[in-house]
Structure 1
Amino acid sequence: TVTRFILALILSGLFSSSFAKLATFQHFRIVYGQSLARVRSITEVPVKDTADRDTDAMQSDVSFEHVTFAYPNKKDRALSDVSLQFPKGSHTAIVGESGSGKSTLASLMMGFWQPQSGTVRLGGENLAELSERNIADFFSIVQQEVFLFNTSIRDNIRIGKPSATQREVETAARKARIHDFIVGLPSGYDTSAGEVGVKFSGGEKQRISIARMLLKDSPIVILDEATAALDGENEKLIQEALDELQRNKTVFTIA
């Protein structure tokens, strides 16, 4: 009958709506589960049980002694029995094809990974015996992709040295060739960098990042394709800023 037909249409619509909501719920459950797994992969990383040490007397040389390393769940080794020495004040270019181990070298010397065998040394000290804070104090890294926090430019630069004065921040910005740009903004150093730095060009974000590293003043600098994908004018300014950053440092350039 017509009544039954109409009732069937109504019920089918209700069932379809319920199934659609269930499918949407399942989709978000999977997405949120994957996001939670990524968060846990960071929060559950074991913290090194190593006390901070006085590293003022340590030198900024780096050495690899018969280092072998493979990433988890990877059959092939990224590095095999590698021995290298990088003296204090040296400038080293690490060049190779994608997947050849360039970034692996940098990750190992910064303590992000531990080798399966061999020893990485910083200033003659076994990296495995230094605290994460000790290691972090030695390194500054400038990458192609720069992250700026949604706070003022001043605070973004101060990440390199939270106790820095305004004069120190401006000195670092001048050396990074970004001071004139900042003071030309309506709110100057109080200007918000915007979410993930979306308000600025790649070159401007890069120079803010370099100012941050200049303020930190670590003895070892890693440049990870820092000038890739930039136009000529920005590359010139950034190269001048990098020249300032590299003065009297041990430098690794990954290309």
Structure 2
Amino acid sequence: MVDLIPAFPAFLLVFVRVTSFFLMMPLFSYRSIPVAAKIGFGFFMAVIMVVTLDAPTLEIDHTYFLLIIKEALVGLFIGFIAYLILSAIQIAGGFIDFQMGFAIANVIDPQTGAQSPLMGQYLYTIGLFFLLTVNGHHLMLDGVFYSYEFIPLDQPWIPFGDENLVEYVIKAFNSMFIIAFQMSIPVVGSLFLVDIALGIVARTVPQLNVFVVGLPLKIGVSFLVLIAVMSVMLFAVSHLFETMLNTMRGLMDIIGGTSR
């Protein structure tokens, strides 16, 4: 136990980064996971990482508290970027709900406590199952572990004023909407054609109440198209996971680039 005393400052920094990462990370930040379980998992993971990593010997002084704040910001920032990219699934569901007529019927997500669209919650649940199937949660934990190769413990600051960092975050935000549009375009495009057909019918057959016929027709077409393109959506979700991991890696590279 005496040999572990010099490593306690480094352990505390690792523990702060891991636990703050779990506060924002998809799948690990949900309310269904007890707080005690998150803290315990972060504690044992920090122990394993300190033993595995070549952690520098640090002293608890005035700069040490700056390192604690930096570690918390790094964990929150990287977890937020991962959550931002994965939110493309719910954005795509929102696009689909708007065209289907389900936009007025949002549900409360029990995991986050926020309102989410019906199809967005459905697709997001399938995406999480797919993430667990391909061991994406292992890759996210690997991202936490290998983050110390990009952002060392003794780096005292995060270059928030760097224009490359700001530009990278904006590009990540842009890629989220692009992927959401790609996922929703089969259903949205099909419903757009249905709207055109209903408009033609309304002009040619004025006796037909298009508002009564249109809503169930659009819902039926939406579910048929969703069944037909579900495999394509899962392929887009797999590409989304790859984008999420690459974005995390690029962000860590930019944050730690000033120290190398």
Point out the structure with max Rg over C-alpha. 1
Task: Report the TM range for the smaller structure's normalisation.
Answer: under 0.3
Q: Report which of the two has the higher share of helix.
A: 2
Give TM-score, length-normalised by structure 1.
0.22
Give TM-score, length-normalised by structure 2.
0.22
Q: Report which of the two has the higher share of strand.
A: 1
